[in-house]
Amino acid sequence: MSRVHDALRRAETTITPGAGAPAERSALARSSAPLPADELRGLLEKVQVIPFTPSPDASLLDATRPSEAPAEEFRSLRTRLNHLQSLQPIHSIVLTSASPAEGKSFTAANLAIAQSQLEGNMTLLADFDFRRPVVHTLFQVPRSPGITDYLQGKATLEEIIKKIEGTNLCIMPAGEAVLNPLELLNLAEVKHMLDRLPSVFNWVVLDTPPLLFAADANLLSTLCHGLVLVVRIGATTIDSVTRAMGSLCQNNILGIVVNGANKSELYSKYTYYHSYYYSKAD
């Protein structure tokens, strides 16, 4: 299993404090302006509802086992991001890494699931990694129609969004393979879509390619409210992180998530607390 190490303190210090709402409040209450209810209902009533049937090896959070250590780590990350959102309007975030195989897709999917577990917190997980998409595999849904189909005029926005039954989570698969991912991302329709989605979803989480292997995440970060960088213990080097951060056109990094801790380290943090809590309850 992997650990999410919350490293968002630096982002907090750069935000001017305001009249923030509690971190775990309803999505509608946290937004800087009321979400248009008619548009929210109009879009979500048209999308396809699918059952939650994740891939057996996807390592996604299980709502029926909320006391597991990985769930606690993602709830901690969720709380910090929601606190930042109470200080300034942050609704769309890019999840990326310096290099491949550092856990960005794992982190993006589980953060989206954790956010969707809050009442009224409509969350969208969008697979913008057109080069090596995995969101459709994690949730065992067709890759197409998806984002690339929408950008090429082959599908509508309603057709590419899938809502997970009984949850506040929607997913948007990558779509059919394309030869020119970066050129497609430069279309005006991308900005239009990313500007529109936060009026429907309180959180839009984008899974994107690694920074050092493609310019996609760099471009998308200029169209979103913030970026979270995923690094992996024992794999990510300081040099690669420095080069990845230096490659960004916009300094909107919210923080860093550390992935890849030992399972024993994770559970040692929570075993005593939960065993004590449940023994007292019994």
- Looking at this protein, which amino acid is placed at residue 144? S
Q: Is CATH 3.40.630.70 correct for 5-9+67-281?
A: no
Quick one: pLDDT at residue 8? 44
Structure token pair of residue 236: 């990510």
Quick one: pLDDT at residue 200? 92
Quick one: pLDDT at residue 23? 40
Quick one: pLDDT at residue 231? 92
Cβ distance 85 to 179 under 8 Å? no
Tokens 């449940």 found at = 278
Quick one: pLDDT at residue 67? 61
C-beta neighbour count of 54 within 10 angstroms:
17
Quick one: pLDDT at residue 260? 77
Quick one: pLDDT at residue 262? 63
Low-confidence ranges of the chain (pLDDT < 70): 1-41, 63-69, 261-282
Whole-model pTM: value is: 0.80
Tokens 């209450």 found at = 29
> Which DSSP category does 22 fall into?
P
CA 47 – CA 18 distance, rounded (Å): 36
Structure token pair of residue 92: 């769309």
Q: Where are the domains of the chain?
A: 5-9+67-281
Sheet with 5-7: list strands edge to edge: 5-7, 253-259, 226-232, 92-97, 203-207, 123-127, 169-172, 162-164, 48-50
Structure token pair of residue 87: 């200080």
CA 8 – CA 257 distance, rounded (Å): 9
Quick one: pLDDT at residue 45? 87
Quick one: pLDDT at residue 265? 52
The per-residue pLDDT for range 149-174, each reduced to its tens digit, is 999 999 999 999 999 999 999 999 99
- Looking at this protein, which amino acid is placed at residue 3? R
The per-residue pLDDT for range 110-147, each reduced to its tens digit, is 999 999 999 999 999 999 999 999 999 999 999 999 99
Q: What is the dihedral of CA 120, 47, 180, 244, to 10 degrees?
A: 10
Structure token pair of residue 20: 């923030």
